[in-house]
Amino acid sequence: MTFLLRALAGALGLWLADRLVRGIWFDGTGPLLLAAVLLGLVNAVVRPVLIFLTLPITILTLGLFLLVVNAATFGLVAWLVPGFHVAGFLPALVGAMITGVVGWLASGVFRN
């Protein structure tokens, strides 16, 4: 049940990013829901590996490189999901920030 609620929160964040950021768009509801599930999986599996591999540069930049890692994972999901389009690094960065904030707020709401 928790995974479903997190996926719905991810879908809400992606939908908000679609509405607020020029350069992010979906071809329909199916790609939006698939992207939400895949973004959750990528954040659970790929993102920790990327954070570990980029730890030295993350330390040198005082954590700011994590924004690049988040944008890269967002772009990876857009590359993997047909019907999910991101027009560059800046839209991916802002989209990742929006979905991150929505996910953070949802985790506070759904906390046991």
| Burial (CB count <10 Å: 0-12, 13-18, 19+), residue 63 | exposed
Q: What is the pLDDT along the chain (112 residues), one digit of tens a residue?
A: 677 888 888 999 999 999 999 999 999 999 999 999 999 999 999 999 999 999 999 999 999 999 999 999 999 999 999 999 999 999 999 999 999 999 999 888 877 6
- Per the DSSP assignment, residues forming a β-bridge with 86 are 24
pTM, to two decimals: 0.90
Structure tokens at 21: 């950021």
Q: What residues make up the domain containing 97?
A: 2-109
Count of structural domains within the chain: 1
